[in-house]
């Protein structure tokens, strides 16, 4: 069936299989491979994107459900590689705090963290840990991830 | 050395870093496997009719010809593969989850759906899935694999010295099977261009993929190019050619189109290598002065029915201390499983957990402080070879760690320390070691017209920070900023790309880069150098074979060392085990790049905590395979499990091992964390728990303080 979805500010019209996940559509059809597949079952958070501003697991989201919505992926977050090539401040914080190793969970962590802060769930380290626990990091970069989110959240109004 | 921020962090935080499966070449087909539902036996018939009828299915293959798909070879048997079993080549089933059919389809949904529709009839046979299973076959490792590498280690006279010991600890420890679960699913994109083959796969061993495929498919290695620029973690699970790769390549050739495979997570549990289940009996003796005089380490380890995966547990437990008499006995237990393999600190995690638990118990029995006891048994010489260690600052790791942790506040007696809220507190310590091996590596360095320095070298970037360590070295040597350095690795176009594993990556690659830089500084505009290992080894590496030197070199033995200090709190109300803080002090020679090195240690600590408190594969004795084959049920540490992890380094260059003064770090980081946790739990409760992982149910009174127990102290440690 046909869906109309705005992906990273680009209105897109496409035919999708009702069985197809938003994750597969992003990765395999739109070549937005920044969003990762770590399980395809909603267990790891690597596929986190924003759907109408909320964080969702794109592997559990049928593409048809994205009809008439706005999707943001890591490639489209505001401020990313702006005119001077600057990063979004949260991305910057991830780099400065070395909040990653292999980087495979990182796009999902960042999408999740943006939402976590916007939801008001980044008030303390304990909150951050709790509300970021849906995003697994097998490299074990959690200390850096919490530090990055803390420093970004502290700079937020 | 000047330190740099992780040089590929920018590409990773923007989603631009491209991993193996992040490619969708024109005309791409998607592959999926149907897998066996029995653990041992024979396939009678595979029914593919329904699957083939599905719209979008291009082909279903249940068997390749034996001449087309050559026999596989096991990496530990002089070959290239994770195991010597090649699915889709015969009718034998050797483990549950073994592929029985390969589907190609126009998109991943159809491919996976089609794979699910495939059924088979089997002639099942009785199987064994764990150490104590009826059908298991137990072998003495030194007889089954009669080469020095797999031999037991024996020196002194452990029996006599044990009999003379004043105090003896004799205990048995159970370590579960575990899975590395790198977050990136095992995957590959394979593509033929005429008679040239291009493989994109996140691997630690591009050289083995190239040479292994060439041997199996009767190709010239030069026809095959393997690119593995980024890996979404590996931890040993990507250290050789997987059995899925050759069938994939053949299917792509038949279809005349590129093919992408992404294994399901469940399939990675049932097809990829894993840390085998082990049992360790440790016997330790000490004399009246608290010196350890004798040690015996006996190990039973799972292996598969079709391969002998050699255990190497004694190599490290024999060297943790200066114990004059030591004996090991390693046995292999054949099960009907995929061949187990190397998972981060493959032998050191289980072996040192058991050994350091026993050492702690012995310290307590002789009434010694566990740090003081370990210091008193330190050594500057390798007890196995009698040679000096190239460098060993374990004593300093212990002293520095104890100081920073506030160790002197720790009550000696266990089970009697609570905080204001009634949570029980325990502090534990343990040490770790890991062999400092090296593998051949070559590097080319060239100054580009725009002034950029391009480094092309052997090695794979798995997230450990090898690219950053190389960049750091170049910036220091040439006095240029990191932005002016470009590193290419993990790619057969720029090198032979032998295995990056065993914590030897940085210590192998940096000396090659350094040697090339010396030539460059001497005025050459482009330079190439190796890292000085013997030609025979270099030849093996150039052909994709495992080629490691060490840890005993001509005049010294080389190991990395670490000491971990752990605090546990057992929550009064919930009984939950919390680890509010860990402090680790590592001796990895010179720290190649502090930012990435510190992350590596923190990551290792997270692994150690997971191993102690969460991770275990639950075998299915009925059907074979594992019952918890998902990221939901195989519990790795989540963010909420992890609190403060402080890392410090001795940071003294190793004077003998190589020109860069670096030893390995990625695995030693993990070694000793688990026993520090279990030793801390003993300190909190008085209970020695000898089976991992430790869960609430293992603790007395479910971890809660018995109501009658007097709450003494109530002091809160401040260190
Ligand atoms: S891939 Fe979606 S949660 Fe793991
Ligand atoms: S950085 Fe590797 S999984 Fe998080």
Query: Domain for residue B243, yes or no?
Result: yes
Domain of B41, in residue numbers: 20-125+181-271
The residues, ordered by sequence, that sit 6+ positions from B489 with a Cβ below 8 Å of its Cβ are: B229, B456, B457, B458, B459, B460, B461, B466, B467, B470, B495, B497, B509
Query: Domain for residue B563, yes or no?
Result: yes
Q: Residue B525: what pLDDT? A: 80
Measure in Å the smallest separation between the Cα of A21 and chain B Cα atoms: 8
Q: Which residues in chain B are contacts of A140 at CB distance < 8 A?
A: 602-607, 637, 642
B237, B319: one domain: no
B563, B699: one domain: yes
Dist CA A21 CA B496 (whole Å)? 39
Determine phi and psi for B579, rounding to 5 degrees: -125, 90
How is residue B556 written in tokens?
A: 């010294």
* Residue where the block lists tokens 């949904």: B109
DSSP B248: H
List the single best residue of B112, B178, B189, B232 to mutate versus A (max A Cβ within 10 A): B232
Dist CA B424 CA B94 (whole Å)? 47
Q: Which of B271, B289, B310 is the last residue of a domain?
A: B271
Dist CA B659 CA B152 (whole Å)? 32
Q: Which of B218, B245, B271 is the last residue of a domain?
A: B271
Least CB–CB distance from A39: residue in B22, B265, B465: B265
Least CB–CB distance from B603: residue in A73, A96, A101: A101
| B211-to-B65, B79, B219, B540 alpha-carbon distances in Å | 20, 9, 9, 11
B112, B215: one domain: yes
Q: What is the pLDDT of residues A21-40, one digit of tens each?
A: 999 999 999 999 999 999 99
Cis peptide bond N-terminal to B204, omega within 30? no
B120 strand-pairing partners = B46
Q: Residue A86: what pLDDT? A: 85
Choose among B602, B581, B584: nearest CA to B666.
Answer: B602
Q: Which of B520, B542, B564 is the last residue of a domain?
A: B542
Q: Do B265 and A130 touch (CB under 8 A)?
A: no
Distance B247 CA to ligand 2 centre (A): 29
pLDDT band at A157; cut points 50, 70, 90: low
B412, B451: one domain: no
Q: Do B604 and A81 touch (CB under 8 A)?
A: no
Q: Residue A119: what pLDDT? A: 96
Choose among B243, B29, B42: nearest CA to B124.
Answer: B42
Task: Say if A116 is an interface residue toward chain B (CB within 8 Å).
Answer: no
The residues, ordered by sequence, that sit 6+ positions from B527 with a Cβ below 8 Å of its Cβ are: B444, B445, B446, B516, B517, B518, B519, B520
CB atoms under 10 Å from CB of A135, counted, come to 27
How is residue A121 written in tokens?
A: 């769930």
How is chain B split among helix, strand and coil, in percent rounded to 5? 25, 25, 45
The angle subtended at Cα B18 by Cα B15 and Cα B21, nearest 5°, is: 115
B374, B400: one domain: yes
Does ligand 2 lie within 6 Å of residue A79's CB atom?
A: no
B204, B286: one domain: no
pLDDT band at A80; cut points 50, 70, 90: low
Give average pLDDT by consecutive 10-residue segment, chain B, 719 residues. 87 97 97 98 98 98 96 93 97 98 97 98 97 96 95 97 98 98 98 98 98 98 98 98 98 98 98 98 97 98 97 98 98 98 98 98 98 98 98 98 98 96 97 98 96 97 97 96 97 97 96 96 90 96 96 97 98 93 98 97 98 97 95 97 98 96 97 98 97 91 49 39
Q: Do A87 and B14 touch (CB under 8 A)?
A: yes
B360, B303: one domain: yes
Choose among B221, B184, B230: nearest CA to B493.
Answer: B221
Least CB–CB distance from A37: residue in B181, B262, B645: B262
Query: Domain for residue B450, yes or no?
Result: yes
Q: Do A75 and B14 touch (CB under 8 A)?
A: yes
B155 strand-pairing partners = B326
Distance B266 CA to ligand 1 centre (A): 13
Query: Domain for residue B708, yes or no?
Result: no
Does ligand 2 lie within 6 Å of residue A137's CB atom?
A: yes
Measure in Å the smallest separation between the Cα of B264 and chain A Cα atoms: 7
Q: Residue A144: what pLDDT? A: 98
Does ligand 1 lie within 6 Å of residue A149's CB atom?
A: no
B445 strand-pairing partners = B455, B527
B282, B265: one domain: no
Q: Is the pLDDT of residue A81 over 90?
A: no
How is residue A65 written in tokens?
A: 């459900």
B468, B534: one domain: yes
B500, B569: one domain: no
Question: Ligand 1: which residue has its CA nearest to atom 3?
Answer: A42
Determine phi and psi for B665, rounding to 5 degrees: -140, -35
User: What 3 state SS string does B648-693 have?
Assistant: EECCCCCCCCCCCCECCCCCCCCCCHHHHHHHHHHHHHCCCCCECC
ipTM over 0.95: yes
Alpha helices for B44-193 (secondary structure H): 49-52, 108-116, 141-144, 158-164
Query: Domain for residue B153, yes or no?
Result: no
Q: Do A129 and B642 touch (CB under 8 A)?
A: yes
- What stretch of H or E contains B327? strand B325-335
Decide if B567 contacts B427 (C-beta within 8 A): yes
User: What 3 state SS string does chain A have?
Assistant: CEEEEEECCEEEEEECCCCCEHHHHHHHHCCCCCCCCCCCCCCCCCCEEEECCEEEECCCCEHHHHCCEEEECHHHCCCCCCCCCCCCHHHHHHHHCCCCCCCCCHHHHHHHHHHHHHCCCCCCHHHHHHHCCCCCCCCCCHHHHHHHHHHHHHCCC
Query: Domain for residue B235, yes or no?
Result: yes
Q: Residue A83: what pLDDT? A: 57
The CATH number of whichever domain residue B345 belongs to comes to 3.30.365.10
B507, B566: one domain: no
Measure in Å the smallest separation between the Cα of B23 and chain A Cα atoms: 8
Contacts A–B by Cβ distance under 8 A: 184
Q: Do B265 and A105 touch (CB under 8 A)?
A: no
Query: Domain for residue B3, yes or no?
Result: no
In terms of phi and psi (left: phi > 0; alpha: psi -120 to 50; beta: otherwise), the region of B83 is: beta
Dist CA B18 CA B1 (whole Å)? 29
How many domains, chain B? 3
Choose among B97, B84, B175, B134: nearest CA to B623.
Answer: B97
Determine phi and psi for A46, rounding to 5 degrees: -65, -20
B442, B426: one domain: no
Ligand 1 atom at minimal distance to the Cα of residue A134: 3
Q: Residue B500: what pLDDT? A: 97
How is residue A137 written in tokens?
A: 């990091």
Query: Domain for residue B152, yes or no?
Result: no
């Amino acid at each position: 069936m046909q869906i109309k979805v705005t992906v990273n500010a680009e209105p897109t019209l496409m035919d999708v299989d009702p069985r197809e996940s938003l994750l597969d559509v992003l990765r395999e059809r739109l070549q937005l491979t920044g969003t990762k597949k770590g399980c395809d079952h909603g267990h790891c958070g690597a596929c986190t994107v924003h759907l109408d501003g909320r964080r969702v697991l794109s592997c559990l989201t049928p593409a048809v459900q994205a009809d008439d919505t706005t999707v943001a992926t890591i490639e489209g977050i505001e401020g990313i590689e702006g005119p001077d090539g600057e990063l979004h401040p949260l991305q910057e914080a991830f780099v400065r705090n070395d909040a990653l190793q292999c980087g495979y969970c990182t796009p999902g962590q960042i999408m999740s963290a943006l939402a976590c802060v916007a939801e008001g769930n980044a008030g303390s380290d304990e909150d951050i840990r709790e509300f970021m626990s849906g995003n697994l990091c097998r490299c074990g970069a959690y200390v850096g991830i919490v530090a990055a989110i803390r420093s970004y959240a502290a700079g937020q109004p | 050395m000047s330190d740099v921020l992780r040089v590929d962090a920018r590409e990773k935080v923007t989603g631009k870093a491209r991993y193996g499966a992040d490619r969708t070449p024109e005309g791409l087909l998607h592959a999926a496997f149907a897998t066996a539902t029995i653990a041992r036996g024979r396939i009678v018939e595979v029914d593919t009719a329904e699957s083939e009828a599905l719209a979008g299915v291009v082909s279903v293959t249940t068997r390749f010809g034996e001449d087309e798909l050559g026999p596989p070879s096991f990496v530990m048997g002089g070959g290239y593969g994770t195991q010597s079993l090649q699915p889709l080549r015969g009718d034998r089933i050797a483990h549950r989850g073994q592929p029985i059919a390969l589907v190609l389809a126009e998109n991943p949904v159809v491919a996976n759906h089609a794979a699910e529709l495939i059924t088979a009839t089997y002639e099942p046979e009785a199987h064994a899935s764990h150490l104590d299973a009826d059908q298991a076959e137990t072998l003495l490792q030194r007889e089954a694999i009669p080469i020095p590498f797999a031999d037991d280690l024996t020196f002194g006279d452990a029996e006599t010295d044990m009999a003379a010991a004043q105090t003896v600890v004799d205990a048995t420890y159970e370590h579960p099977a575990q899975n590395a679960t790198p977050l990136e699913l095992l995957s590959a994109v394979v593509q033929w261009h005429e008679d040239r083959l291009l493989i994109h796969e996140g691997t630690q061993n591009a050289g083995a993929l190239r040479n292994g495929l060439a041997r199996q498919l009767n190709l010239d290695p030069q026809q095959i190019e393997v690119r593995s620029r980024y890996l979404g973690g590996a931890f040993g699970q990507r250290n050789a050619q997987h059995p899925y790769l050759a069938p994939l390549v053949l299917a792509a050739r038949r279809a005349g189109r590129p093919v992408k495979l992404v294994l399901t997570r469940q399939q990675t549990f049932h097809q990829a290598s894993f840390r085998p289940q082990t049992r360790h009996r440790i016997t330790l003796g000490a004399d009246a002065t608290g010196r350890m005089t004798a040690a015996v380490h006996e190990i039973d380890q799972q292996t598969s029915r079709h391969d002998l995966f050699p255990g190497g547990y004694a190599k490290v437990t024999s060297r943790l201390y200066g114990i004059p008499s030591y004996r090991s006995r390693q046995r292999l237990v054949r099960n009907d499983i995929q061949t187990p393999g190397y998972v981060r600190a493959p032998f050191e995690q289980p072996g040192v957990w058991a050994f350091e638990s026993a050492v702690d118990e012995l310290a307590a029995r002789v009434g010694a402080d566990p740090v003081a006891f370990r210091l008193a048994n330190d050594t500057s010489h390798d007890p196995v070879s009698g040679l000096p260690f190239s460098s060993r600052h374990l004593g300093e790791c212990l002293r520095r760690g104890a100081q920073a942790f506030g160790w002197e506040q720790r009550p000696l007696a266990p089970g009697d320390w609570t905080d204001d809220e009634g949570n029980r507190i325990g502090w534990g310590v343990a040490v770790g070691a890991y062999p400092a091996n090296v593998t051949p590596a070559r590097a080319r360095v060239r100054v580009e017209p725009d002034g950029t320095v391009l480094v092309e070298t052997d090695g794979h970037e798995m997230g450990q920070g090898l690219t950053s360590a190389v960049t750091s070295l170049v910036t220091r040597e040439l006095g240029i900023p990191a932005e002016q350095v470009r590193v290419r690795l993990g790619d057969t176009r720029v090198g032979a790309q032998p295995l990056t594993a065993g914590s030897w990556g940085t210590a192998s690659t940096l000396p090659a880069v350094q040697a090339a830089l010396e030539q460059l500084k001497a005025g050459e505009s482009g330079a190439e150098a190796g890292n000085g290992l013997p030609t025979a080894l270099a030849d093996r590496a150039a052909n994709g074979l495992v080629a490691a030197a060490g840890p005993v070199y001509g005049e010294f033995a080389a190991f990395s060392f670490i000491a971990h200090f752990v605090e546990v709190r057992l929550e009064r109300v919930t009984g939950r085990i919390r680890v509010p803080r860990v402090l680790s002090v590592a001796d990895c020679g010179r720290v190649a790049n502090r930012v990435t090195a510190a992350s590596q240690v923190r990551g290792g600590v997270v692994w150690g905590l997971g191993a102690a408190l969460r991770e275990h594969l639950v075998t299915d004795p009925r059907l074979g395979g594992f019952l918890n084959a998902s990221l939901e049920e195989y519990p790795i540490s989540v963010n909420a499990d992890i609190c403060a992890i402080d890392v410090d380094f001795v940071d003294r260059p190793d004077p003998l091992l190589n020109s860069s003064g670096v030893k390995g770090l990625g695995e030693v980081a993990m070694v000793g964390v688990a026993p520090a946790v279990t030793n801390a739990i003993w300190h909190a409760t008085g209970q020695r728990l000898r089976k991992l992982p430790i869960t609430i149910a293992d603790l007395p009174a479910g971890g809660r303080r018995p109501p009658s127990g007097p709450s003494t102290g109530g002091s809160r440690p401040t260190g």
